Amino acid sequence: MAEQSNHTDGRTRTCGLIGNPVEHTMSPVIHNTLAANFGHNLVYVPFHVEKDLDKAVEGAYALNILGMNVTVPYKTDVIASLLEVDELASRIGAVNTLVRMEGGYKGYNTDMPGLYRAMKEDGILIENADIVILGAGGVARAVAVLAADKKASRIRILNRTVEKAEAVVQEVKEYFPSVDVQAMPLSDYAKLDGKEWIAIQATSVGMFPKVDAAVIEEAGFYEKVKVGYDLIFNPSETKFMTLLKHAGKEAYNGLKMLLYQGIIAYELWNECEVTKEQAAVVYEKMKKEMGC
């Protein structure tokens, strides 16, 4: 359908974002562009929620809000306020999308399906691949669950504090007992065999404004990697990505993951399918918004 301007009237449905802060979110660009493109009578707005998360979710339902995204710091805490939680979101332990159902909201995690869809579009498949994850926080845990769920061949979790990586390994093995997943200290990267690893950078190191750092800066690590994904999207090229490129390897940032997590949420709310062409229009608007 041809793009048309967003408008509001008595039939307009509302979706939005719960978080703190929300002032710099890109989500309105994604959802309002999609609504205009589809001709859906829908608007998307951010809601800055400083406290009383449960009341915010209850209020959203009372106000007939169609769906919500959830961002930091509430992706785990929001689970207690939901009627139902999707299996993948339950395994990951984080929800970023609420879909309205009778009596409340069902929680989904579209971040990891968004990463998977972005990687597939770039021609990178997790299935039967060797995955090395940098970091052992909540995002790294989610990536590890995704990799196990998609039947990666080997998963290695590298972290400065190896005990945190080991805790992620144990959590992954609870759901996927036969998966080859191991924890390693960052300094042991040389023990990774071969040169075909897909590296996923899942920490905040290198994020704006502290852009001059990478979790691993030694060139030897990047020789072992065939392609890398930094889940950071600001700056558009992180030091991790620069080091990959210096080694002659492909490097991607997290902007396309952000795009597709939003698209999947939009599809859940509106029971529709976003085409590659529609996704490309949104992606260009996001890049323009970021000045890249």
83-120 per-position pLDDT tens digit: 999 999 999 999 999 999 999 999 999 999 999 999 99
Task: Write the CATH number of the domain with boundaries 113-253.
Answer: 3.40.50.720
Amino acid making up residue 290: M
Per-residue tokens: 107? 């929680």
What mean pLDDT, rounded, does the chain reach?
96
The catalytically annotated residue of 75, 224, 249, 256 is 75
Catalytic site includes residue 75: yes
C-alpha pair distances (Å), 5 with each of 14, 37, 100, 272? 16, 8, 25, 19
* The two domains 13-109+256-290 and 113-253 share their CATH topology (first three levels equal): yes
SS3 45: strand
What residues does each domain of the chain span? Answer: 13-109+256-290, 113-253
Domain 13-109+256-290 belongs to what architecture? 3-Layer(aba) Sandwich (3.40)
List of residues 6+ apart from 192 with CB closer than 8 A: 132, 156, 184, 221, 224
pLDDT digit string, tens, across residues 14-59? 999 999 999 999 999 999 999 999 999 999 999 999 999 999 999 9
